[in-house]
Each structure stands twice: as structure tokens, then as C-alpha cells.
């Protein structure tokens, strides 16, 4: 993809080869073609590349219908131009580009007070051990106050420590002791949704219009959700609240209510939360599902065809939403961009070219992202029982190292709390455990 070319305008008359000029188009084509053992460069073929987008419903034999084609075209046209990225010279230095991060799941890491639940004091007590491993930073899964419907990713109070883990004083002690050993502290922050027990949502249910506008509330009848979107946790993505006669959106569990980033007052509240923790001395954030904060205006129905393929109906309307880049630039300018802080975004569904848009230094959005392309072979997902082919990992990581440009920096990781152990996926035979682990 030539990043110096201007952004094309897509229509049904557009040849398929033009997809290669769009970061979203390139990555969608790459993902689909990989399932057939091909890649997006196939669209450079004179015959295939000349096929017009409008022919896809007929040629795909129902895989792409007219409505889905319109959605794809609208999405391609809503994404801003990439702009030129730096390909020459040296990488710009930054402390986070050299760090080795150790992920900690606080609940199970170390139970210091003996109550059966891991805690912040347990992490502090093991900082010497962590330092001996040679790590430079710790990333803690969520530690803010939460009813734990989704392991802390449903935050009830953004400025309070989860009681099971300790107190704010315990956190400050951990932070100070980590810094004394040269270890940075990265927090897990959830800005796409809050718990339904958060004060904002409770005040919304009490009828306060201001706080209803912090979420996606829609008037309606109890048997008719506003659209056909499905939750990542199965079932409708909507809850009905008879006391106010409204539906509310939840992309994940029924207790994780999507925040309305279209509301500037809500955005400022979130910026202030980020500044609160940065002022405490936090070194950075892992931003949970940050790529889905922008939703298509009007929240239109999702494609049944795409939903059956992916298992998540409606995802085309938010996985790389129309105002995502605008929101991320605003987030940076009003929070972590004012500090010597680091951000890594969790961006499910995005490919390398979309990730360049999210992380290029010239664009002022995120520092880097967690790209999941290498974690599963084409056509597979983390729930499938299969033997992973390491040649796929080699292909993806090589492309990321060579083609990511001098403006972008990639994260190297092989598993996390959301994914199965890579060693077991390659070969579960214990006889090969050490050999695979040392590759």
C-alpha cells in the first residue's frame, strides 16, 4: 500500500485493487484471503483486481449481500486517510520501546494477608523476585473497584482500589517500591464501558438525563431491542429497563454498559480519570478494547451474513468506528500526552495497516497496540482445538518487523489472560514443553 497516495472514494464501481490503498480495505482483504491460503496482494492481479465491488454479491454466492456491501463501502469511506509515514532514518528513542513487561493477574499472583485472594501487598512483597527476572515493568489486570462480573473489567469506581486487593495506600506503597527498583507500573484501564453499578449508570436509571447521555439509552418497547447487535458474551447486546422504558447497550456482559464517547462531557470525565492515576505516578495504561469506542451514528442493524461468519453481529459498526482516531487524539492530548507515559491499546479485529493508523508517531494517537493476528492460524480462533502452525507466527511477525515503518513500534507477545497457552497449542505433549518454550 502506497502511503503517499490520497484516500480513494469507494463505490460499487470501484475495482478491488483500490482496496489496497485503504488501511481498512487492505486488512479486511488480507484477513479474508488468508483463510484461503492467499494474501491481499492477489488483488494486484490484472483480472482479479479489475473486478468491481458491485460484483461481489453475485460472485461471492451469498457471502456478501447488497446490505453488507453498502456497509463495507460506507466504512471504507468513513475512515480518514493514512497520510505518509516515515520509512527512513532511525527509530525515535522512548523508554517503553526497550521494556520487558510482566503481566500480573493480582487475584492469583500472591495472597499476602492469607484471605484466599491475591492482593497488592503480595505484589509488593515479590518485587525483588520480579526484578531478578530482568523485567522493566509490570502490567496489572484491573485493580479498580468492581463487582467482578468480568474479573474487574466492569469498573464500579475508577478512583478506588478493589477492596479484595487492598487500599490506595497499598497501591502507593507498591508504586513507590516498584519505582525504587526501576520497575514501571502499567495499569489496565477500561474506557469503553463501566459497571452497571457505577454511580453514573445508577443515576441514569434514576432518571437523570445528564447521565443517561453518558451511555447508549434508547426508548423502546420491552420486546423490541433497538437493533440486532449481539454481545461478545452471547445474546442481545441490549438490556431493557422497565422503570424508565429504555434499552441500554452492552457489548460485553449484561453488567458492562457501553459508554457514549459521542458525549464530550463523558469524554472529559474519562480524561480526568486518566489524569488522576497519572498524577499518582502511574507510568502508563493498557487500554481495554479501546478500538471499539466509536459506534456508527444511529446504531444500524448488523449484517446477518457477517454475524454468522464471525459470531458477533453488528461488529462492522464499531470495530474501527468513524470517530475512533479523533477520540484517541483527544484522549492523548488531554491525558497521557501531557506526561512521560506509555499506552498500549487492545484492538481486537484490526490488522497491521489499521494498527499503523493507530500508532504512527505522526498521528498522535496510541504508542502501540496488541495485535492478535499471530495468535491463531487463519480460519481458527482461540476456542478451537487444533495444533498451531508456527510457520504462521513466523509469517506474521516477520511482516510486522519489516513492514511496520520507522513511525510505528510493535509489541511482541505470545499469550495473555484472554488466550490459551501457546506451548499447548503448538503441541500439548509434555515431552516437547521445554523445547517449544525455548524457541
Residue 392 parent element (H or E): helix 390-403
Helix (H, G, I), strand (E, B) or coil at 340: coil
C-alpha grid cell for residue 194?
A: 463501566
pLDDT tens, 51-70? Answer: 999 999 999 887 888 988 99
- Residue 4 clears pLDDT 50, i.e. is over it: no
C-alpha span between 40 and 18 (Å, rounded): 11
Q: Judge whether 142 and 190 are in contact, CB under 8 Å.
A: yes
Quickly state the pLDDT bin for 120 (edges 50, 70, 90).
Answer: very high
Is the CA virtual torsion 216, 218, 222, 228 positive or negative?
negative
State residue 88's pLDDT score.
Answer: 81
Q: Judge whether 110 and 126 are in contact, CB under 8 Å.
A: yes
C-alpha span between 218 and 246 (Å, rounded): 5
C-alpha grid cell for residue 117?
A: 485472594
CA gyration radius for the chain?
22
pLDDT tens, 195-220? Answer: 999 999 999 999 999 999 999 999 99
State residue 2's pLDDT score.
Answer: 47
Q: How far is CA 23 from CA 3, 39, 40, in A?
A: 9, 14, 11
Q: Judge whether 286 and 42 are in contact, CB under 8 Å.
A: no
Question: Which positions are catalytic?
Answer: 288, 346
* Number of CB atoms found within 10 A of residue 281's CB: 14
Quickly state the pLDDT bin for 89 (edges 50, 70, 90).
Answer: confident
pLDDT tens, 362-413? Answer: 999 999 999 899 999 988 888 899 999 999 999 999 988 888 888 999 899 9
Name residue 195's beta-bridge partners.
256
- Residue 296 clears pLDDT 90, i.e. is over it: yes
State residue 344's pLDDT score.
Answer: 98
pLDDT tens, 223-244? Answer: 999 999 999 999 999 999 999 9
- Higher-confidence residue: 275 or 84? 275
Q: Hey, what long-range contacts does 326-330 have (CB within 8 A, 24 or more apart)?
A: 326/294, 327/261, 327/267, 327/293, 327/294, 328/290, 328/358, 328/365, 328/366, 329/363, 329/364, 329/365, 330/267, 330/271
Kindly report the backbone phi and psi dihedral angles of residue 247, in degrees, each rounded to the nearest multiple of 5, phi listed first. -100, 150
Record the pTM.
Answer: 0.94
Q: Which distant-in-sequence residues (6+ apart) come within 8 Å of 279 by Cβ? A: none
- For the purposes of burial, counting CB atoms within 10 Å of the CB of 390, is it exposed (0-12), middle (13-18) or buried (19 or more)? middle
Average pLDDT, the chain: 93
C-alpha grid cell for residue 171?
A: 497501591
CA 56, distance to chain mean position in Å, is 29
C-alpha span between 222 and 89 (Å, rounded): 59
Kindly report the backbone phi and psi dihedral angles of residue 96, in degrees, each rounded to the nearest multiple of 5, phi listed first. -75, -15
Amino acid at each position: 500500500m502506497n502511503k503517499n497516495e490520497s484516500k480513494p472514494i469507494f463505490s460499487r464501481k470501484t475495482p478491488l485493487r483500490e482496496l489496497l490503498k485503504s488501511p481498512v480495505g487492505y486488512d479486511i482483504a488480507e484477513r479474508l484471503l488468508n483463510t484461503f491460503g492467499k494474501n491481499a496482494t492477489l488483488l494486484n492481479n490484472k483480472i482479479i483486481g479489475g473486478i468491481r465491488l458491485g460484483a461481489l454479491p453475485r460472485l461471492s454466492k451469498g457471502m456478501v449481500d447488497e446490505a453488507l456491501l453498502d456497509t463495507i463501502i460506507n466504512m471504507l469511506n468513513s475512515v480518514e486517510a493514512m497520510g505518509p509515514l516515515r520509512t527512513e532514518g532511525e527509530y525515535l528513542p522512548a523508554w517503553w520501546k526497550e521494556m520487558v513487561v510482566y503481566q500480573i493477574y493480582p487475584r492469583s499472583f500472591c495472597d499476602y494477608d492469607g484471605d484466599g485472594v491475591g492482593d497488592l501487598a503480595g505484589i509488593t512483597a515479590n518485587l525483588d523476585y520480579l526484578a531478578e527476572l530482568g523485567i522493566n515493568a509490570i502490567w496489572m489486570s484491573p485493580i479498580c473497584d468492581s463487582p467482578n462480573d468480568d474479573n474487574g473489567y466492569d469498573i464500579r469506581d475508577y478512583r478506588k482500589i478493589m477492596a479484595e486487593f487492598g487500599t490506595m495506600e497499598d497501591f502507593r506503597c507498591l508504586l513507590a517500591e516498584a519505582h525504587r527498583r526501576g520497575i514501571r507500573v502499567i495499569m489496565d484501564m477500561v474506557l469503553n464501558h463501566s459497571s452497571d453499578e457505577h454511580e453514573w449508570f445508577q443515576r441514569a436509571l434514576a432518571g437523570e438525563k445528564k447521565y443517561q447521555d453518558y451511555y447508549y439509552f434508547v426508548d423502546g418497547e420491552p420486546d423490541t431491542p433497538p437493533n440486532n447487535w449481539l454481545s461478545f458474551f452471547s445474546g442481545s447486546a441490549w438490556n431493557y429497563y422497565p422503570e424508565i422504558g429504555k434499552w441500554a447497550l452492552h457489548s460485553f456482559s449484561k453488567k458492562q454498559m457501553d459508554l457514549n464517547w459521542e458525549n464530550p462531557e463523558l469524554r472529559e470525565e474519562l480524561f480526568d480519570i486518566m489524569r488522576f492515576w497519572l498524577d499518582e505516578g502511574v507510568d502508563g495504561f493498557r487500554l481495554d478494547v479501546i478500538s471499539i469506542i466509536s459506534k456508527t451514528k444511529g446504531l444500524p442493524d448488523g449484517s446477518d451474513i457477517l454475524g454468522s461468519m464471525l459470531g458477533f453481529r453488528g461488529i462492522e459498526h464499531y470495530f474501527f468506528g468513524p470517530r475512533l482516531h479523533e477520540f484517541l487524539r483527544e484522549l492523548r492530548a488531554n491525558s497521557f500526552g501531557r506526561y512521560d507515559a506509555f499506552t498500549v491499546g487492545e484492538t481486537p479485529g484490526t490488522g497491521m495497516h489499521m494498527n499503523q493508523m493507530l500508532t504512527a508517531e505522526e498521528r498522535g494517537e496510541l504508542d502501540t497496540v496488541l495485535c492478535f493476528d499471530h495468535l491463531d492460524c487463519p480460519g481458527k480462533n482461540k476456542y478451537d482445538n487444533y495444533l498451531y502452525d508456527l510457520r504462521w507466527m513466523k509469517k506474521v511477525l516477520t511482516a510486522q518487523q519489516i513492514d511496520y515503518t520507522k513511525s510505528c513500534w510493535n509489541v511482541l507477545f505470545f499469550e495473555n489472560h484472554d488466550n490459551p497457552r501457546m506451548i499447548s497449542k503448538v503441541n500439548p505433549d509434555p515431552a516437547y514443553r521445554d523445547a517449544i518454550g525455548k524457541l
